[in-house]
Each structure stands twice: as structure tokens, then as C-alpha cells.
Structure 1
Amino acid sequence: MKTPDTEAEKRPEIVQRVQQVLRHYGLNASSATQKLGYSTTSKLYNILKGSEPSYPTLVDFLRQWPDLSPEWLMLGQGPMLRGEGSGTPASARQRAAAGEQAAVNSGGVLVVTVDREGEDNVELVPVSAQAGYTVQHNEAVFVKDLPRYRLPKFERGKFRAFEVAGDSMEPTLNHNDIVVCSYVDNWRLLVPDDIYVVVTSESVMLKRIRARITSKADEVVLHSDNPHRRPYPLDASDITELWRVRGYISTYLPSAPDVTVERLWEVIEALGFDKGTVRRHLEEGATSDATL
């Protein structure tokens, strides 16, 4: 049987140096992930298990900890920290200038689960678990107890599935459908008019967002596809997680196209009314709803 020390010695030297960096700063994979601004812990976990870090990852280390020696980190040459002869550690201002503009996000670390090959699972959050998810979404014990799957077409990237409850997104999505979502780390990159799962400390909501979030001070308007549900305003600071819907699983099979509805829209347009204006009037007369 291999001993832990023997296994550690057989890891690539650059992996051992990454481990030394984390020990020096008193970090583990989770806290280092947060420091580096990554959305999931899987990258660092894979490195600590023996996968060599990529060049961009090493650059991220040097930007976050500018007192590290690039020669030591990349080549194993010289001391770990910049000494007197190679300049003093960078100031806070230099460190800020070296980094990229801070993303608008929850500021938390996404907890993930992986299979035996180290690949991310797709965790399912059923309706029965959504109340707990609002307050325990960043707790590893809670997330690892969720049902886990591997889905075709969703093998690359971090995805999570949520069960739909209610009719707020009908006719696009129906009660008991399952939406498969990708994690949105930087909210500035939100795609307007797409559907999102919005997690707060009180609820898990499935809504359409029509404008980007540029600041935590923004008010986010959540829209339903059901014309009988009014838009729902929410402070961006109340959002703890944001997931973009990339697909869905459904047992609902639509019937043949409703010829009557299509004909009605043709008549409305023939009378000179704008279809978008009519739809907007229907939405303004709808009742409020803020559930998934």
C-alpha cells in the first residue's frame, strides 16, 4: 500500500509548489477558490489531486499574490517569495491594478460534487428541497445529499437542475418540468431576455430577466411568461445565486398547434394593432406572482 508521503512525492513538482503556496497563506481549496474569484472549487481540487495547473491559472496565482516569485512558481528556481534583491512585495494599490475589474456576483463560492472520474455532477434540486436550498446552497453536506446525474449535452461546465413548480412560466415551461442551468458567476455577463433560476434567502424563482445587472445596487425586474403574472421587482443585493436555463426535461407533450390562436393574432395585426403592444397590455393587467 502506498503511503500518503510517497503519493505526494510522486505528484508533479509544480503541484507540490501550489500546495506549498496554499500552506504558506493558510488556505484550503475552498478559501483559495474564493480568493482567486473562481466560480467552483473543482479547478483547485483537481490540481491538489495531481493535475498540473494551466498557464492562466499560474498567472491568476501571481496576480492574487504578487509577492510570489514567478521563477519559483513556474520553474522551481530561487526562493518562493520575492526577496530584497528582486523588489519588495507589491502594494495594495499595485495588487488592485494587476487584477481585473471585480465581477458583480454573490461573492460566495459554489459548492459542487464530482463523480469518480473527477467530473462535475448535475445536482437536482427538487421542489421538496428548494426551501432548504435557499439557506444551505453553499453547504457541502446539503449539496452532496441532492440527487446527482450525468446528462448528455451537459458534460462540460457546471450545471444544476431545478424542478419547476407552478404556472408562472407557462406556456414556455410547465409544472413538474426540470430546467438544466449553468452557473452565472459574473452577473454583468447575463444574457438579456433569457430565463434564469434566481435564488434568494427566501425563495427559488424561475423568471425571465430582460436587462443586465451592472451593480449590486440595481433593482432587477423578474418577468413571467404567463401573461396573467405581473413583473416582480427584486434588489440585486438579495440574490445569492443566479443560474441561466440552458435546457429542460419534460413529460409534457404539446398538442397540435392552436389554429384559433394563430388566426386571432393575424386578425389583430390586420386591424393595425402591434402584437407587442397588445401583449404588453395583457401583462400590465396581470396579477402579481413570485414563485417558481
Structure 2
Amino acid sequence: MKPTLPIEVTRFKEVREALDLTQHNFAKALEIKGSTADIERGKSKITGGMVVVLMEKFQVNPLWLYGKSTQKQLNTTVNTSPKVLTVTPENNEGIVLVNVKAAAGYPHNIQDLDWYEELPAFTIPLPEYRNATYRGFQVEGDSMLPMLHPKEWVLGKAVENISMLGNHVICVVVMHDSVLVKKVQKHENKELLSLISINPEYPPITINTHQIQEIWEVSSKISSEFDESAGNMALSQIQQSLTELKKEINLLKN
């Protein structure tokens, strides 16, 4: 018969599973080496430092963790605002561009000022891009076809918290281990969100809001490709309409 694990161990594992993190990635998030396997087996203790990180990053109530409270979260309002703002030499807020390669390291460097300095930034002198913070992200994969193509760029406006976010809007969602461009659907349970791909081949992903570090609501995209097929299709339709119109005129003449 297996020995009963302390409640803090079972709840520690429950937190990890709710965040949908591997033991290795959860250890990274908790700023410890290796994985959390030994903790979940009851072989290693949960340190005070881990409890602090659980509180600060995931709003886990330490009293709940140790079985002294039924309230799991300390705060249900998740701060999704930018962790770092960049300013150009002209003292204007810059739009940082995060390409596919940089996006892989974005979640882990989200508060590293030096890391941001390595990324390109620019400004757009248009009124709609003033008095707000924007960031550019490069699209990876085909999950958002046909609206967004691989290697295109989206410009996202910072969202301070999820309550300010509209429903069914396309966003860049920065989690603790990944950066995703998806359509966001809210739930009655405010701790949950569904991330939906436009390409029907990809199933929706349901996440806990405490998995989110930042959200950027997509306002525009930048593409270097011109869709010739759409133009050819439109031209073909015009030619067909003209042909049909000529036939109708000839019938009227006869």
C-alpha cells in the first residue's frame, strides 16, 4: 500500500496539471533546477521560495496549498499588461518586433531588459498607434489560415487584464512556456479561456487564465506577400459577368 502524500504535495501537483505544464517546465517556472518529480513523489519538500513564486506568478493561496483554506487563488484578476516597455532615442514608445526565433525565448525573458534591447523596434506616426502600447509578433505555422499566413506579422495592442478583453478577438497570448496567436473565447468560469484556431484542422485549447503572462489584442497585420490568386479570381468573375451581360443584350436585340 502506497503511503499517503501530504496535502501540499497533492495540491502542488494539482496546480501544475491545471497549468498544463510538464514537471520540467514547472520547475523552470518555479526557478528551480531539474524537474518537480521528486516533490510530487514526496521525496523533496516544497521550499519557502517555491511558495513565494506560486503566490507571485500563479496567485496560489499558500493556506489552500497546505489545506488551511478552500480558496485556491489569492486574486482572480490576472495582470496581463506588458512586463517591459521600450523607448526609442527620440523618447517615443517603440513597437518591439518579436520574430519566430525570438518568440521561443520570449516567455522566459519577459522581464529581462537586456534581452529586449537585442530586438528591433520602430514607431508608426499614425494617431491610432498613439496613447497605447503595441508589440509585433511573427506568425508561426498554419493554424490561423486563411486569415494569417506563416511569417506574416501581427501588431497587438496591450491588454491590462482579461476583463478588458473582448470575446472572440484574435490575440497574441504569452504563456509561461509558449507564444500563441489565436482567437480568444471567454467562459462563464472566468478562470478559463479557449484558444481557437481558424484552421479547422486544429482543435481548440482550453487554458487557465493564470497560465497567461501577457495578452496583445491584434489590431493589424503586416504582410510581404501579395495574394495574386485573389486578384485573378476577381478578374475572372468580372470577365464572366461581362460575358453574361453581352449575352443578355444580344437576346434583347433579337
TM-score (normalizing by structure 1): 0.50
1:161 to 132, 136, 141: 136
Other-structure match for 1:196:
171
In 2: Cα distance, 1:159 partner to 1:122 partner: 5
1:176 to 126, 142, 151: 151
- Please state how far the C-alpha of 1:156 moved relative to its aligned partner: 3.4
Other-structure match for 1:250:
223
Q: Which runs of 5+ in 2 are unaligned?
A: 1-74, 238-254
Higher relative contact order (CA 8 A, sep 6+): 2
CA contact (8 A) 2:78 2:209 kept: no
- Please state how far the C-alpha of 1:229 moved relative to its aligned partner: 1.1
Matched to 2:218, the amino acid is V
Any idea what SS the aligned residue of 1:256 has? helix
Matched, 1:136 2:91: no
In 2: Cα distance, 1:135 partner to 1:166 partner: 21
Other-structure match for 2:90:
117
CA contact (8 A) 2:172 2:215 kept: yes
Matched to 1:256, the amino acid is A
Q: Which runs of 5+ in 1 are unaligned?
A: 1-101, 263-292
Other-structure match for 2:4:
none
CA contact (8 A) 2:156 2:219 kept: yes
Matched, 1:206 2:181: yes
- Please state how far the C-alpha of 1:213 moved relative to its aligned partner: 8.4
Any idea what SS the aligned residue of 2:114 has? helix
Q: 1:151 to 1:213 in 2, by over 3 A?
A: farther
- Please state how far the C-alpha of 1:214 moved relative to its aligned partner: 7.1
User: What are the Cα deviations for residues 55-109 of structure 1, in whole angstroms up to 9, with x where unaligned?
Assistant: xxxxxxxxxxxxxxxxxxxxxxxxxxxxxxxxxxxxxxxxxxxxxxx88223776
Instruction: Report the identity percentage.
Output: 30
In 1: Cα distance, 2:161 partner to 2:88 partner: 26
Q: 1:249 to 1:213 in 2, by over 3 A?
A: farther
Cα root mean square deviation, aligned: 2.4
1:68-79 → structure 2 map (5 Å cutoff): none
In 2: Cα distance, 1:235 partner to 1:132 partner: 21
TM-score (normalizing by structure 2): 0.57
Any idea what SS the aligned residue of 2:170 has? strand
Matched to 2:160, the amino acid is D
In 2: Cα distance, 1:103 partner to 1:119 partner: 33
Matched, 1:146 2:154: no
1:1-292 → structure 2 map (5 Å cutoff): 104-106=77-79, 110-153=83-126, 154-211=129-186, 215=190, 218-254=191-227, 255-256=229-230
CA contact (8 A) 1:213 1:220 kept: no
Any idea what SS the aligned residue of 2:186 has? coil
CA contact (8 A) 2:81 2:158 kept: no
In 1: Cα distance, 2:171 partner to 2:81 partner: 18
Matched to 1:202, the amino acid is D
- Please state how far the C-alpha of 1:160 moved relative to its aligned partner: 0.4
